[in-house]
Amino acid sequence: MSVLAPTADPVLWLIVLVPLFMAVVAGILALTRRLEGAAPYLTSIGTGIAGLVALTHRPSRTHGYLGHVDVSWLQVWDRFHIALSVHLDHLAWVMVGVVCAVSLLVQVYSIGYMRGERGYARYFAYLSLFTASMLGLVVADNLFQLYVCWELVGICSYLLIGFWWHKPSAASAAKKAFVVTRFGDVGFMLGLLFLSVAAGSFGFTDVQHAFARIGSGAQQASTLMSNEVFLWVVPLLLFCGAVGKSAQFPLHVWLPDAMEGPTPVSALIHAATMVAAGVYMVARLIWLFTWSSVSAPLRGPLAIPLDVILVVGAVTALIAATIALVQNDIKKVLAYSTISQLGFMMMALGAGNTAGQATSMFHLVTHAFFKALLFLAAGSVIHALHHAPDPNDLRYMGGLRHRMPWTALTCGIGVVALAGLPPFSGFWSKDAIAGLLMERAGWFGHRMSPEGVLQLGADPDVASFGAVVALVVTVLTAFYAFRLWFLAFAGTPRSQAATQAHESPAVMTLPLVLLAVPSVFAGWWLHHNSLLEAYLTNEHGAPMHLTVAVVATVLALAGAAMAVRLYLKPSSGEDPVCGMPRPLYALFSNLWYVEAFWSAAVAPTLLKLGSTVAWADRNIVDGTVRATGRGIVRVGYEVRRMASGQAQSYATVIVAATVAVIVLLVLYEAAASGGMP
Amino acid sequence: MIGLQHYLLVSAALLGIGAFGALTRRNAIAVLMGVELMLNAANLNFIALWRFLTPYSMEPQVFVLIGLTIAAAEAAIGLAVVLNIYREYGTVNLDKIAELKG
């Protein structure tokens, strides 16, 4: 890790504060219901300013520039302090760029998509608040700020999923997203508190230095940090947060429901940025996961954080891709596709070390562009089909390529990028992940020595599993991506609404075109001379293996060809995908029974637990309080009878007590001086 | 020879009689008289102890004079209170006056 002297540049504060300010302004417009039409322009300008500031303050390897400003927020004596910061290092800079670019394009797109909606300004206030929170999360230099912003983006997600709160399905989807992610967040909070207590600081660099000092033996480990269990429990707890936020198995169930929100929201929050926060967090702390995994005494069966990450990512990628095969809702297909691709990013992180970090971020960047593009294209279709019985349903579409050429073209680019066909962006990043996993698995001739494996992290067998899953998912991804496009745009219209559809206005198609450009070129450009990897880790990654590229391309082509063969000819009967073996179809269309498991097993247990706790609160906690009050009243009632109201009886008591005290004193004196006087 | 003990015994007897009267008599006037007896017991104690223990100090005599003054004031106020009680209740029987019974 190169040591760069941070440069304090106050202008960096603008990255977070301008979108926040614009969110407040748009919120005021929304509350006063004045000039609501101005809100999108204000928030877009705010996001644009933030992006420009980041663009002009690029941390560089060659010039040794690293922007950092902070202000002490909470100082608890000399025990610890919590800072608010804008820390623009290489990793953060890449992410800030993605967030600003996608957020800006989504806001521009929303000008057209949300036109005439109630709560127009409120929508943009939420979007801008989300952008500010997400940027705050990305530029955090300490765990505390990361966590605060982590919850803030969760709140924005909740508000935006439930934007059409009058729809019961939207309201309950918002609640579901909030509650399900909370499962992971509990673990995340415990993990970061443990970590901070052990290291004595919230700051990323402080924590890393504390671990480094112990690793080099320069400092005696605190009792907590020398505890072996602690060292792999904390990363796993932190990973729980990523599982919730990045919709990994088994907490992925909230993301498909989150599609109840407006489509641009799905593009920004539930495809490109917020759901990537979990991946970003693990990438940010990859040294911790790698360190705790490669510490030799800790290596045991599945007790290794990196292996857990890899397996969770692989299972997620596989399950979500198979479910995406059989979905008929255009947004659900994309939602499961997002879950699957996030699983890919997790797999790359599971490979460990800086290589895993860079590869995962590579896929995060390309995926952000092509998945935002796909969602916005889907939004364009939904916008055009708003007269259909269900505008989201692929079965009411068909033949839209003639009616909506721009949407069809850009969506096609997104589909090809998602499928991973060369030279589109998804191809490069997905193959980088597959190649990395195969390298870890030792498929390229030499199986690594145990020492080499220890240094790198992931277990070779686990990595083999990940590599196989990656290849299988490549086929599935290409199939469902092409299926989506052919169902929507090819063939003949299958509904009245589809025949009358017309292209969306330029304010919506322009962002599509602008997103299509990086969807085509970003992969090649970033892969070229391993630009991203060199930028993030200061070391050149391995060149792409030709075999991996060929095999992955052939597999993707096979999946695509299958989809083309099945869907090119318009079939009047049922969906050809129903032709797969019955048990498989049942498994996939029932979402692998994960939803059923949650609602049948977990939810009733939790409800019972909740009602038990509520009973205990009402009867034990409240009961104690009430019993205390009632007891005191009763005691008072008894004592009251002593008050006869007759002064002489009181005086008698006083005299008797005085006499008794005197007698006792005399007796005591006598006993002390030995015998009666 | 009459010594300190004799004075103290008389004083204790006065205090006991006064306390008994104050605690047992129904009539408010009699209660006041009991209180006066107790005050005089205290005064007698003062004078006797002064005479036998610190005959060259004048402070005890001052205390006794103050005590007499207070006894006079107390008698005046007490009688005024009793007079008002009589006007209000038509009786000075303390058993009948129990407004503050809980």
pLDDT tens per residue across span A437-482? 888 887 776 555 555 555 556 677 888 899 999 999 999 999 999 9
Kindly provide the ipTM of the predicted complex, given to two decimals.
Answer: 0.84
Most A CBs within 10 Å, among B23, B26, B32, B37, to test the A interface? B23
Burial class (CB in 10 A: 0-12, 13-18, 19+), B27: middle
pLDDT of A138 higher than 90: yes
- Contact A637/B at CB under 8 A: no
Burial class (CB in 10 A: 0-12, 13-18, 19+), A416: buried
Which residue from A265, A99, A113 is spatially nearest to A174, judged by alpha carbons? A265
Reported confidence tier of residue B101, pLDDT bands at 50, 70, 90: confident
Using a CB–CB cut-off of 8 Å, the residues of B that contact A are 19, 22-24, 31, 94-95, 97-102
**Cβ-defined contact of B19 to A646 (cutoff 8 Å):** no
The 3-state DSSP composition of chain A as helix, strand, coil percent (nearest 5) reads: 75, 5, 20
pLDDT of A300 higher than 60: no
**Cβ-defined contact of A645 to B98 (cutoff 8 Å):** yes
Q: Which two tokens stand for residue A435?
A: 């190649």
pLDDT at A104: 94
Cβ partners under 8 Å of residue A588, min gap 6: A322, A323, A325, A326
- Contact A644/B at CB under 8 A: yes
Most B CBs within 10 Å, among A635, A640, A641, A648, to test the B interface? A648
Count of CB pairs separated by less than 8 Å, A with B? 30
Q: Taking a contact as any Cβ pair under 8 Å apart, which residues of chain A between 645 and 674 contact chain B?
A: 645-648, 651-652, 655
Percent of chain A with pLDDT over 90: 42
Asked if A335 contacts A265 with a C-beta cutoff of 8 angstroms, the reply is: no
Which residue from A370, A359, A369, A368 is spatially nearest to A527, judged by alpha carbons? A359
Q: How many CB atoms lie within 10 A of CB A333?
A: 27
CA distance B4 to chain A (A): 17
Residues of B in contact with A651 (CB under 8 A): 22-23
DSSP string, A597-650: HIIIIIHHHHHHHHHHHHHHIIIIIHHHHHHHHHHHHHHHHHHHTT--S-HHHH
Residues of B in contact with A640 (CB under 8 A): 102
pLDDT tens digits for A568-609?
A: 776 666 677 777 888 888 888 888 888 888 888 888 898 999
Q: What is the DSSP letter of A385?
A: T
**Which residue in chain A has the smallest CA separation from B16?**
A655
Mean pLDDT of chain A: 85
pLDDT of A543 higher than 70: no
CA distance B79 to chain A (A): 16
Q: Which two tokens stand for residue A395?
A: 């079965």
Written as one letter, the residue type at B76 is A
How many secondary structure helices (H) and strands (E) does chain B include?
3, 0
Residues of A in contact with B38 (CB under 8 A): none
pLDDT tens digits for A362-408?
A: 899 999 999 999 999 999 999 888 888 888 888 888 888 888 999 99
Residues of A in contact with B99 (CB under 8 A): 645
- Contact A677/B at CB under 8 A: no
CA distance B46 to chain A (A): 19
Asked if A482 contacts A563 with a C-beta cutoff of 8 angstroms, the reply is: yes
Residues of A in contact with B31 (CB under 8 A): 648
pLDDT at A504: 87
pLDDT at B38: 93
Q: Which two tokens stand for residue A426?
A: 């998804």
Query: What is this structure's pTM?
Result: 0.79
**Which residue in chain A has the smallest CA separation from B32?**
A648
Q: Is the dihedral of CA A22, A23, A24, A29 positive or negative?
A: positive
Written as one letter, the residue type at A242 is A
Instruction: Identify the helix (H) or strand (E) that includes residue A87.
Output: strand A80-88
pLDDT tens digits for A17-72?
A: 999 999 999 999 999 988 888 899 999 999 999 999 998 888 876 666 678 888 88
pLDDT of A301 higher than 60: no
Nearest to A645 among B19, B22, B101 (CB): B101
Q: Which two tokens stand for residue A659?
A: 């006499």
Reported confidence tier of residue A631, pLDDT bands at 50, 70, 90: very high
Residues of B in contact with A648 (CB under 8 A): 22-24, 31, 94
Cβ partners under 8 Å of residue A564, min gap 6: A482, A486
Beta-bridged to residue A70, according to DSSP, are: A85
